[in-house]
A and B are shown apart, each in its own frame.
Chain A
Amino acid sequence: MTPLLDVRDLQVAFRTGPMLARRDVLGVAGVSFRLHPGETFALVGESGSGKTTLARAINGLQPISAGSVHFDGQRIDRLGRAAMKPLRKVMSMMFQDPVGSLSPRMTVRDLVTEPFRIHGVRAELAAETTRLLALVGLNDSFADRFAHQLSGGQARRVGVARAIALNPRLVIADEPTAGLDVSVQGEVLNLLNDLRERLGLSMVIITHNLHVVHHVADRMAVMYLGRFVETGQTDAVFRAPAHPYTAALLSANPEPDPDKARERIALPAEVPSLLARPAGCEFHTRCPWAQARCRTEAPEMRPHGDRHLACHFPLAPGARPPERDIPT
């Protein structure tokens, strides 16, 4: 089966620095993955991990400096804007800010039907508005509102409605629950799950919140400084994270239970700058388990049991960090 999306060794470089000392910084430093039809893949990482850049690169909003992106067997990373346009009907994207990604002077009706107008798709727009709003659980009375008259959750639903307007095959969702209250996050995730089943969508979900991933993604990749450090089936990764960074992320959203033992893994030091990538394993500066080898030798991405991993010393299930003084 041809994968719907095939990303091979993708790199994105940014030029930065003062005029005379310009240099390239890798925001995404060589990433490969495949997405099969009907599958949901999650990219997880914190700020600076390159996850949003990767999403934009796949969508052609960000030029790539090496590697390739194939969509349904067709190479798309070198396409010009005109050649890319028909693909934008079948590959849509949702952006982080639920309200900010909606044009402020347009009504919900205009926003939801904009994809039809951009692509000159003939349709009964009034009927489409009703259909799409109903799909995302909003009634017709919302059609004449503006973005600022919507709550975060309602704005997010409008964003979903636009993304699915032209029956895309792939939806890339950047932080679909960002800025939403806990009680609303669940609604949005339920909606995405529901639509995915009803419309047979494939999805790439980008998030920093592991709990989001758990309930919607089939497979996931954890990103650190623009590289994958662990990929695998979501259930397997959640059951037993093998990379120390995954384990730390997973421990960072504790259950609201005052009697549960505090099992958070505190990471010493801050995220290194992309301008000064650490030698060896790039996570060693923050890794509670780091050893001498980690400081000099960069781990390759290798198969490890049921997943792929870039770590010299994969964690055993339930491993706790060794006691040591936190260096400042």
Chain B
Amino acid sequence: MSAAVSDAWRPVRRLLAEPLGALGIALVLLVIGGAVLADWLSVYEPSRISPRDRFQGPSWTHLLGTDQLGRDLFSRVLHGGRIALSVALFSTAASLAIGVVLGLIAGYGPRWLDNLMLLLFDSIKSFPTVMLALALVTLFGPSLTAVVVVVVLVNVPGYARIIRTQTLALKESEFVTAAQSMGAGTARVLRVHIMPNVIGPLLILASMDIPVVIAIEAGMSFLGLGVRPPTPSWGAILNDGFTAIRDTPWIVIAGGLPIILTTLGFTFLGETLRDVFDPRLKGRG
């Protein structure tokens, strides 16, 4: 039994043995901790306007200073982290779910369906992200939903293609034929025999996509296409600070630093995960 336990912990130990992996884990934990404990850590209401306290520099009362409306930036950064992480996790999970299902269908289904789906994936992929975002925002209006839909549309074709290619390869393998010869139906073959064998590398690639998603959310919010004020978002904070960058640079730093730290954290973690679990993928993604 002890062998099984140490087996489960081995990847974690290998991850921590890599300096970048350990740093990645630390950064990710810091960001997640900040977001989860945001209510408890922040003294101020993130959207509370206080005209008297406008443009205050960092101090013990306002750790990161305040913005043009006198809102406490530390509180806004923590709550902005909630938005960033929940958008990233939710839209990545949605992309994964949709991508895996479509990829399995394309890979296992009839040839014509596969061709049709590939055409669809390629068409979506050939659309520039910004154009896609603008188009969707004109449809839905600027909102979190728009951000999630953009991310899903951007991610799904790539995920589905990875799953499709591996499914195609496994479709002819002997253990799949063996399952068919026992009478297993399509759903069972896909769920029990194919999916567990194709999903591993995709999870690693998806974890490396999380910083990209965070950047998309921040970018759209910066442009005013994402979350609407007064909801705190790192992109919106950046935008607030941008106009006053000359006199009050701390606002831009307060908005930019968490984006950089989160991106680095998830990237280090994802890359180390990839190297530990699947060295063949090195240099991809």
A residues in contact (CB < 8 Å) with B: 59, 61, 81, 84-85, 88-89, 92-93, 95-97, 100-106, 114-115, 118-119, 159, 162
Q: B residues within 8 A CB of A100? A: 173-175
Contact of B181 among A61, A96, A97 (CB under 8 A): A61
Q: Mark B144-186, 1 if CB is under 8 A from A, else 0.
A: 0000000000000000000000000000011101111111110
Q: Is the CB of B174 within 8 A of A118?
A: no
B188, A93: Cβ atoms closer than 8 Å: no
Say which one of B53-61, B62-70, B84-92, B190-198 lies at the interface with A.
B190-198
The answer to whether B174 and A88 touch across the interface, beta carbons within 8 angstroms, is no
Asked whether B197 lies within 8 Å of A118 as measured between CB atoms, the reply is no
A97–B176 CA distance with the chains assembled, in angstroms: 12
- Shortest beta-carbon distance, A267 to chain B, in Å? 30
How far apart sit A159 and B175, CA to CA, in the bound complex (Å)?
10
A85 / chain B contacts, CB cutoff of 8 Å: 183
Q: How far is the CB of B211 from chain A (nearest CB, A)?
A: 29
Q: Which of B173, B174, B180, B182 has the most CB of A within 10 A?
A: B182
Q: List 30 A-B contacts (CB under 8 A).
A: A61-B181, A85-B183, A88-B181, A88-B182, A88-B183, A92-B181, A92-B182, A93-B178, A95-B178, A95-B181, A100-B175, A101-B175, A101-B177, A101-B178, A102-B175, A103-B179, A103-B192, A103-B193, A104-B197, A106-B192, A114-B184, A114-B192, A115-B182, A115-B183, A118-B179, A118-B182, A118-B183, A118-B188, A162-B178, A162-B182
Q: What are the residues of chain B within 8 A of A106 when measuring CB–CB?
A: 192
8 A-B pairs closest in CB distance: A88-B183, A105-B196, A101-B174, A93-B181, A103-B175, A85-B183, A100-B174, A95-B174
Q: How far is the CA of A93 from the CA of B174 in the complex (A)?
A: 11
Total B residues in contact with A, Cβ cutoff 8 Å: 17
Chain A, Cβ-Cβ closest to B4: A144
Q: How far is the CA of A8 from the CA of B137 in the complex (A)?
A: 66
Tell me which residues across on chain A come within 8 A of B188, comparing CB atoms: 118
Task: Given A93-B178, A103-B192, output 14 extra A-B contacts at Cβ < 8 Å.
Answer: A81-B185, A84-B183, A93-B181, A100-B175, A101-B174, A101-B175, A101-B177, A101-B178, A103-B175, A103-B193, A104-B175, A115-B183, A159-B178, A162-B182
Tell which of A89, A97, A103, A115 has the most Cβ of chain B within 10 Å: A103
Question: A119 with B177: in contact, given A103-B192, A105-B196 (CB under 8 Å)?
Answer: no
Which residues of chain A have C-beta atoms less than 8 A from B180's C-beta? Answer: 61
* Identity of the chain A residue whose Cβ is nearest the Cβ of B195 in the assembled complex: A105
How distant is the Cα of A149 from the Cα of B153 in the complex, in angstroms? 40
Residue of B nearest to A98 (CB): B174
Chain A residues with CB below 8 A from B174, complex form: 95-97, 100-101
Contacts of A61 on B, CB cut-off 8 Å?
177, 180-181
* Chain B positions 187 through 226: 1 when the CB is less than 8 Å from some CB of chain A, otherwise 0: 0100011001100000000000000000000000000000
B residues in contact with A102, CB < 8 Å: 175, 178
Q: Which of B173, B181, B196 has the most CB of A within 10 A?
A: B181
Does B196 lie within 8 Å of A95, measured CB to CB? Answer: no
- When chains A and B are docked, how far (Å) is the Cα of A105 from the Cα of B175? 11
Report the Cα distance A150→B163, complex, angstroms. 28
Per the bound structure, the CA–CA distance linking A95 and B192 in Å amounts to: 19
B179 and A114: CB pair below 8 A? Answer: yes
Using Cβ atoms and an 8 Å threshold, which residues of chain B touch A119?
A: 183
Q: From residue A247, how far is it (CB to closest CB) to chain B in Å?
A: 32
Give the chain B neighbours of A115 by CB distance below 8 A: 182-183
Nearest chain B residue, comparing its CB with the CB of A85: B183
Kindly report which residue of chain A lies nearest to residue B194, judged by CB atoms. A103
For B184, give the chain A residue with the smallest CB separation.
Answer: A118
Closest to A117 in B: B188
* Closest chain A residue, CB of each to CB of B176: A103
Residues of A within 8 Å of B184, CB to CB, are: 114, 118
Knowing A95-B174, A102-B175, A104-B175 touch, does A59 contact B182 (C-beta < 8 A)?
A: no
Measured CB to CB, the closest approach of chain A to B127, in angstroms, equals 32
- Expressed in whole angstroms, the minimum distance between the Cβ of B268 and any Cβ of chain A is 28
Question: What's the nearest-Cβ distance from chain A to residue B5, in Å?
Answer: 13
**Inside 8 A of B192's CB, which chain A residues have their CB?**
103, 106, 114
For the complex, give the distance between the alpha carbons of A105 and B194 in Å: 9
Complex Cα–Cα for A121 and B79 (A):
53
* Chain A residues whose C-beta falls within 8 Å of the C-beta of B179 in the assembled complex: 103, 114, 118
Give bound CA distance, A92 to B182, whole Å.
7
Closest CB-CB distance, B188 to chain A, in whole Å?
A: 7
Q: How far is the CB of A159 from chain B (nearest CB, A)?
A: 8
Nearest CB on A from B234, distance (A): 39
For the complex, what is the distance from the CA of A119 to the CA of B197, rounded to whole Å? 23
* Residue in B closest to A95 when the chains form the complex, CB atoms: B174
Q: How far is the CA of A118 from the CA of B192 in the complex (A)?
A: 11
Instruction: Provide the residues of chain A in CB contact with B193, threshold 8 Å.
Output: 103
A196: min CB distance to chain B, Å: 19
